[in-house]
Amino acid sequence: MLRRTIPAVLIAAAAAFCCYWWLTAPSALALPARTRAPDLANGQELFNTGGCSSCHAVPNQPDRLLLGGGLPLGSPFGTFYAPNISPDPTDGIGRWSESDFVNAVNRGISPEGTHYFPAFPYTSYHIADVDDVRDIFAYLKTLPSVQGKAPDHDVPFPFSIRRNVGIWKLLFMDRKPFAPDASRSPQWNRGAYLVNGFGHCAECHSPRNVLGGIVTSQRFAGGPNPDGEGWVPNITQKGIGSWSEKDIADFLETGDMPEGDSASGAMRPVIKNTALLKPEDRAAMAAYLKSLPPVDGPTPPKRKPGGG
Binding site for other proteins (CB under 8 A): 225, 229-233, 255-256, 260-265, 267-269, 300, 302-308
- Of the candidates 252, 277, 247, the one whose C-alpha atom is nearest the C-alpha of residue 263 is 252
* Shortest distance in whole angstroms from residue 297 CB to other proteins: 10
Distance separating alpha carbons of residues 168 and 16, to the nearest angstrom: 17
CB 56 within 8 A of CB 64: no
* Shortest distance in whole angstroms from residue 28 CB to other proteins: 37
Nearer to other proteins, 181 or 261 (CB): 261
CB 260 within 8 A of CB 276: no
- Of the candidates 231, 229, 230, the one whose C-alpha atom is nearest the C-alpha of residue 205 is 231
Helix (H) or strand (E) segment spanning residue 134: helix 130-140
Backbone torsions φ then ψ of 148, nearest 5 degrees: 105, 135
Nearer to other proteins, 205 or 290 (CB): 205
Nearer to other proteins, 230 or 294 (CB): 230
DSSP state of 214: B
- Distances from the Cα of 86 to the Cαs of 34, 43, 70, in angstroms? 23, 15, 12
Nearer to other proteins, 293 or 306 (CB): 306
* Shortest distance in whole angstroms from residue 232 CB to other proteins: 7
Contacts of 135 (CB under 8 A, 6+ apart): 38, 39, 40, 42, 43, 46
* Shortest distance in whole angstroms from residue 264 CB to other proteins: 4
Q: In the chain, count of helices (H) and strands (E)?
A: 12, 6
Nearer to other proteins, 155 or 257 (CB): 257
* Shortest distance in whole angstroms from residue 99 CB to other proteins: 36
Nearer to other proteins, 4 or 303 (CB): 303
* Shortest distance in whole angstroms from residue 292 CB to other proteins: 18
Nearer to other proteins, 209 or 264 (CB): 264
* Shortest distance in whole angstroms from residue 182 CB to other proteins: 37
Contacts of 168 (CB under 8 A, 6+ apart): 118, 211, 212, 213
Helix (H) or strand (E) segment spanning residue 164: helix 162-172
CB 97 within 8 A of CB 110: no
What sign has the CA pseudo-torsion 260, 266, 267, 272? positive
* Shortest distance in whole angstroms from residue 306 CB to other proteins: 5
Nearer to other proteins, 36 or 302 (CB): 302
